[in-house]
């Protein structure tokens, strides 16, 4: 009798406390078809995501370009079209403001402004207007900032807004940041003068950024023009060339002599 109780107690305890891993109702088998279906779903999802991101990368600059161009056309055409509508000028029976020639007129107007400002009289008038704007309390700051940005992309090579494209070590060791050298300053120290360069590093847009004073010897000067540097920053690095080589630094004649040599 003791042997029967002992033999019957063992299966009862096993059946009450444990779960049968071979029970098909509790643990359904992982069939090969379900595994293949799951792998195909992962591959398809990765492929669709990759192609979607590729389409976004291709269409984003196109959409931004067309949006800005369309906004500019609407703005300038809306400025000149009412003038043609008030005058009622028509050519071959077609009203000018219906033909959308306000935009063409604005382009011609901008061109002649450039021609006029390039002359001596235009430069004088422009200087007088600039002198008046710089005397206005709030407008002068907006004008100065916008002029620095426009001077950076100006075809005139004599501009002093952005001097060189610079690569500095920022924000941590092993990381680099693109910037523009805007000016230089000499830091007077007891052990000698140290030449520092003011490097403007854009953070969000081209006109918003931080200014860093970096030792001129620690700045990497790549073989990139100012326009190429602006294109790299505006495009988010998509126009970055695959190979960048630093330029050889030309020693400046204006380098100061250390103070310990003067004393």
Instruction: Give the tens place of pLDDT for each residue, 45-91.
Output: 888 888 887 777 677 767 777 887 788 777 777 777 777 667 765 55
- E-strand spans in 118-234? 164-169, 176-189, 192-202, 209-215
CATH 2.30.30 in the chain, residue ranges? 164-241
Q: How confident is the model at residue 32 (pLDDT cuts 50, 70, 90)?
A: low
Do 100 and 80 form a contact (C-beta atoms < 8 A)? no
Q: What is the pLDDT of residues 156-198, one digit of tens each?
A: 555 556 788 888 988 777 788 888 888 888 888 888 888 898 8
Q: What is the pLDDT of residues 124-157, one digit of tens each?
A: 888 888 888 888 877 777 777 777 666 665 655 5
pTM flag (> 0.85): no
User: What is the CATH class of 164-241?
Assistant: mainly beta
Q: What is the mean pLDDT of residues 108-136?
A: 84
Q: What pLDDT shows up at residue 135?
A: 84
């Amino acid at each position: 009798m003791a042997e029967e109780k002992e033999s019957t107690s063992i299966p009862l305890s096993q059946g009450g406390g444990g779960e049968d891993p071979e029970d098909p109702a509790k643990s359904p088998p992982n069939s090969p078809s379900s595994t293949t279906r799951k792998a195909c779903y992962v591959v398809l999802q990765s492929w669709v995501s990759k192609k979607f991101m590729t389409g976004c990368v291709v269409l984003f600059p196109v959409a931004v370009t067309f949006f800005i161009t369309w906004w500019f056309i609407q703005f300038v055409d809306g400025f000149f079209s009412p003038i043609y509508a008030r005058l009622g000028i028509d050519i071959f029976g077609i009203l000018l403001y219906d033909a959308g020639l306000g935009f063409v007129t604005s382009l011609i107007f901008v061109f002649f402004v450039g021609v006029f400002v390039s002359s001596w009289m235009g430069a004088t008038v422009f200087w007088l207007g600039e002198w008046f704007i710089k005397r206005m309390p709030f407008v002068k700051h907006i004008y100065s900032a916008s002029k620095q940005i426009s001077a950076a992309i100006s075809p005139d090579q004599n501009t002093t807004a952005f001097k060189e494209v610079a690569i500095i070590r920022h924000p941590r060791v092993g990381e680099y940041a693109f910037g523009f050298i805007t000016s230089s300053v000499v830091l007077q120290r007891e052990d000698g003068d140290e030449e520092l360069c003011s490097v403007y590093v854009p953070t969000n847009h081209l006109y918003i950024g931080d200014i860093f004073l970096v030792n001129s010897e620690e700045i990497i000067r790549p073989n990139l023009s100012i326009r190429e540097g602006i294109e790299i920053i505006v495009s988010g690095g998509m126009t970055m060339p695959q190979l960048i080589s630093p330029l050889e630094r030309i020693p400046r004649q204006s380098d100061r002599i250390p103070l310990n040599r003067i004393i």
